[in-house]
Amino acid sequence: MTASLNSYNIHSYREVLADQVGAQGNQARKENFDAIRRAGQRLYRTIQGIRDFSRIEAHSFELRPQSVDLDTMLERQVHDMKILAAQKNIRLRCVIDKLRATVIFDEYRLSGALTNLLQNAIKFTKEGSITVRLWRGTDRLLKVAVEDTGIGIDLGYLARICEPFSQEESGYKRSFEGNGLKLALT
Q: With beta carbons less than 8 A apart as the criterion, state whether 117 and 111 touch.
A: no
Where are the extended beta strands (E) located within 46-157?
66-69, 90-96, 102-105, 128-136, 142-148
| pLDDT above 90 for 163 | no
pLDDT at residue number 78: 92
| Residue whose C-alpha is closest to residue 185's, from 44, 42, 43, 46 | 46
**Backbone Cα Rg of the chain:** 19
Q: What average pLDDT does the chain have?
A: 79
Provide the CATH topology of domain 66-152.
Heat Shock Protein 90 (3.30.565)
pLDDT in tens, 33-64: 777 776 676 677 777 777 877 787 788 878 88
* Least confident window among 29-33, 62-66, 81-85: 29-33
- DSSP category for residue 159: G
Is the pLDDT higher at 82 or at 53?
82
Query: Residue ranges per domain, the chain?
Result: 2-57, 66-152
pLDDT at residue number 81: 87
pLDDT band at residue 1, thresholds of 50, 70 and 90? Answer: very low
Mean pLDDT value of segment 148-160: 79
| pLDDT above 50 for 73 | yes
| pLDDT above 50 for 100 | yes
pLDDT at residue number 19: 72
Q: What is the pTM of this model?
A: 0.67
* CA–CA separation, 145 and 118 (whole Å): 10
